[in-house]
Every structure is written in C-alpha cells, then in structure tokens.
Chain A
Amino acid sequence: MPTPDEARSPASRVRRFWDSSVGKKVVMAVTGIIGIGFVLGHMAGNLQMFKGAGAAQAMHDYAVLLRSTGGLLYVMRGILVGAIVLHVTAALQLTARNRAARPVPYAKRTPQVSTLASRTMRYGGVLLMAFIVFHIADMTLGIGVPGFRHLDPYNNLRNGFTRWWAVLFYVLAMLSLGFHLFHGAWASLRTLGARRPSAAPLHRNMAVAIAVVTAAGLVAVPIAAVLGLFRDDMPVSEAMSTARAGAPGITPAGAAAIGTASAAASVPRA
C-alpha cells in the first residue's frame, strides 16, 4: 500500500505539478482560457463579413494587418499550437487515469446533476481537434477550397461554403464548441480556484454568455453564406498591403513576413 512518505517524489517542482491530477487540470484550464480568448478574437474578426459593401476589402485588410505585426502572428500561432498540444496531452492522460479509477463499471448509475455538456467534453474535444486540422487545411492553406486566393478571406469563405458538407461540418463543430465552452469556461475558472463560496456552485452565467455568443457568432458565417447574404462583389484592392510593406517602423522579421504576404496578394485575381 502506498504510504504518505512515498508521496515525496524526487522529481522537479514542474514535473510534480504536471504529474498530479490537479496540476494537469490546471494546465488544461489555462490552455483552455487561451483557447477561449483566441476563439472570441477569431469570431470578432469573422463578423467583419457582415459589413455589407466593402466587407471583402475589410476582410482582406484584416488578413494583411495580422501579417504586418512583426512576427507577432507567428508568436501567437506558436502559443496556440503549444496550448493545443498541452490541452490534448493532459486530456488524454487524465482520461486514461479516470478510466483506470473505475475498472468495474456500475450495472446502473443515474447521473443526478451533471450536464450533458460536461459528459460530452471528451467526444466534443475529439470532434474539435478534427475540426481544427480540417479548418487550417481548408481556410488557411486553401486545400480543396474552389478558387482559393491567399489573403482574400471574403471570397474564399463564400467559395468554401458552396460545399454543403463543409457547411454542415462547420455548423456542427461550432455548436459542439458552444457545448465545450458551456462546461469549459465555467470549469476552467473553478479549477484555477478563482471562486468564492457560492450558494449555487453549479450556476454559470458567464459561461452561458460565452458559449452562446461564440457558437452563435461562429455559426452565423456559414449560415449567412448559405443564405447568400455575402453579396459584396467589389474587387479587393491590394494597394494597402503594398503601402504597408513599405511603411516605416516595421521590423526586419515583420517586413519579411509582409514580403511573402504582399507577394501573394499581388497575384492577379482569377
């Protein structure tokens, strides 16, 4: 039988933290919050699609803006990939631990208060992981998107959502993201201990708001594309990106990034 003294592991402080179930959950909470921040920002960017006239230009300028941040884009991408790797690794290891904790299942177990969202976190997580891979291949790299043009998200989106199965997958994935956040946004703060004693510890007003806003905001774009609401046919002007590349106050790394960006942007429109 394990004795308390064996609890003293000679491993480093960080290693002990990662090895403990609480520490791993803290990592999941922190990386999850990074993800929530990203998703909210991404959603806000997407909503420029609804600008009406000039939306195509706005989306293009936004794409160029992200690439003119002096390497910050790649720092952010690095953070996001790191967060996903940690989040998924911790989730897999904790799931394995949780499964091992009850080798003999109950013949009958009736959930009392746990939400459907909390019970489907793992499946939703797998779906979202598949979605992230698909989404990057689809809308970032343009694999399989008809008439894909780099730095023209407005038209890429319109073209991408002419495929019914893509619309279906996006909507499904974003609804499952809402579910994931309904539990995750609330649980992450509780895991971090950021909670005073509460009369109703299962209530989660903030998480409901985050989940509904994200799911609705992200689902709106494919739905609107299907409904044909994106009618801005003004050609995208590349002038701005070239001007920016020459603008003063841009670091060499940034200029290099913009160099590729504007080179791609100056490819004549098909």
Chain B
Amino acid sequence: MNLTLRVWRQAGPAAAGQFVEYPVRDISTEMSFLEMLDVVNEQLTEQGDAPIAFDHDCREGICGMCSLMIDGVAHGPMQATTTCQLHMRSFRDGDSITVEPWRAQAFPVLRDLCVDRTAFDRIVQAGGFVSITTGNAPDGNAIAIPKPDADAAMDAAACIGCGACVAACPNGSASLFTAAKISHLGHLPQGQPERYRRALRMVAQMDLETFGGCTLFGECQAACPKEISIDTIARMNRDYIFGAAFEQEESRAGGAG
C-alpha cells in the first residue's frame, strides 16, 4: 500500500518544529506502524536525511515506550492497542496520516516524536510505592486478598505509563495515570497504611508537574491501551478527599518518602 505521512519534525527541545510530508511506497499491511516508520527511516538514511526519532522498546505492547498521536488519536485507530501493536491493515491504500508527538506542557518534545515523560516517574516517586520492612520473603499466601480486590488492583496495575491518557485528554490531565497507580496499591492490604497520604502526595505532584485537571471527558479511558477505567479517578478523588480531611499533617522529620 502507498501512503502519505505528515510527520512532526523538530531538531531539539528548543528548536521550532514543523510538519514534513513523506510519500511512502510499497508498505505491507502486515507491518506494524513502527515497522512502517522503520522503512521510512531506512529510506531517509539512504538519502542522507536524519531519520524520524520515535520512542519504542519491546514492540509487544507491554513496555509503554511507544507513543504517537496518529491522525488525532493516541496510539492510532485501534482500541486497547499500543502503536507498536497497531498494524497497517488498519489503514487504507492512499491514506494521508498525520503523526504528532504527545502534546503537553509536562511532556516537552525532545526530538521529532520523542517526548520526555519523566514527570510520570516523579509522580510515582511522590507516593506510588509501599514502605515495607525488608527481610526474608514472606509466604506468598500469608495475606489473604479477596479475588475482586486482586482483580481490581491488577486491572489498575496494567498501566504501562505510556502517557496516552495525557495525550488524549483535552486538558492534558494525568488523572488516569495517577489514579491507576493509586488504585493499584490502594486495593491491596499492603497499600493501606499509606493509602491516603499516597493520594495526597501523588495528586500534589501531578499538579506541580503542570498537568491539567480532570473534567471527565472520558477521552483517556478510550485512548488507554490497557483499558484502564475512569472508575479509578473516582477512587483517587475519594482517597484524596478522605486524606485531605483526616490524614495527619506530615512531619519534616520522617514520613513515607
């Protein structure tokens, strides 16, 4: 199949970017979107042009590295699918496809289609963990966890931190990501001691990173390759409200962090 790509090219974080059109020939429908970009990059390299920079790693939909706003949709037209798992059979011969990086103040463009998503890491550092006393590994079944709780925690833990929720949100909000991390630990007994402090700290960090707020458009849920539900956001708010009302003030001397 033959396509026309309209790709955002930007030499560096401070450089001005613009769209560049690339005609692409003889693409197999069996290729993934990233393999198609590999073909384009081969051609660009042969011509002596700089290849298009894009993030990728596992290429099996589990690492959260790949991104791309494809024709205005995060991770492209397939539901519950990362860009690396998106195949060219989702497009038609002769299509013109616009490819952009995630756009958010908190996700600065590094080069072309690569953005810096370390804001997510700092949100997790703020409280996305459980503090435990290390020692011998405890018995796997020492703490009984109800199946529905384990399932809910696992569903939230499926978040790969790709940032599609931020990219798809008209507000550039990281609520779904933060809520997924809060829910993942908050559903489990091990997550209970720090549950409300976690919500307070992670939300505070989310705000510091200049992400927008949630207005429940629902776009994040539709874009999420792991189909994380906005139910987690209701849960985050619940934990936040409870924490804001009842959680003890943190002392400078210690605390979870």
Binding site for B on A (CB under 8 A): 1-9, 13, 16-17, 19-26, 94, 97-98, 100-114, 118-119, 121, 183, 186-187, 190-198, 201-202
Whether A193 contacts B235 in the complex (CB less than 8 A), given A7-B205, A114-B219, comes out as yes
In the complex, B203 has a CB within 8 A of chain A:
yes
Q: Contact residues of B with A, CB < 8 Å?
A: 6, 8, 19, 69, 71-73, 98, 100, 103-106, 118, 122, 125-127, 152, 168, 170-173, 201, 203-219, 221-223, 229-231, 233-241, 244, 249-250, 257
Q: Are B122 and A201 interface neighbours, CB within 8 A?
A: no
Given A94-B213, A102-B103, A112-B222, verify A195-B234 contact (CB < 8 Å): yes
B126 touches A102 (CB 8 A): no
Are B207 and A101 within 8 A (Cβ)? no
A193 engages B213 (CB within 8 Å): no
Complex A-B: 9 CB contacts under 8 Å: A8-B204, A16-B244, A24-B213, A102-B171, A111-B217, A191-B214, A191-B234, A192-B241, A193-B241
B100 to chain A, nearest CB (A): 6
Contacts of B222 in A (CB 8 A): 112-113
Beta-carbon nearest neighbor of A26 in chain B: B241
Query: Beyond A103-B105, A106-B100, A110-B72, is A13–B244 a contact (Cβ under 8 Å)?
Result: yes
Given A2-B209, A193-B235, residue A106 in contact with residue B203 (CB < 8 A): no
Minimum Cβ distance to chain B for residue A192 (Å):
7
Given A100-B212, A101-B106, 4 further pairs, Cβ under 8 A: A102-B171, A108-B69, A108-B72, A192-B238
Contact in complex: B172, A21 (CB < 8 Å): no
Q: How many angstroms from the CA of A114 to the CA of B171 in the assembled complex?
A: 12
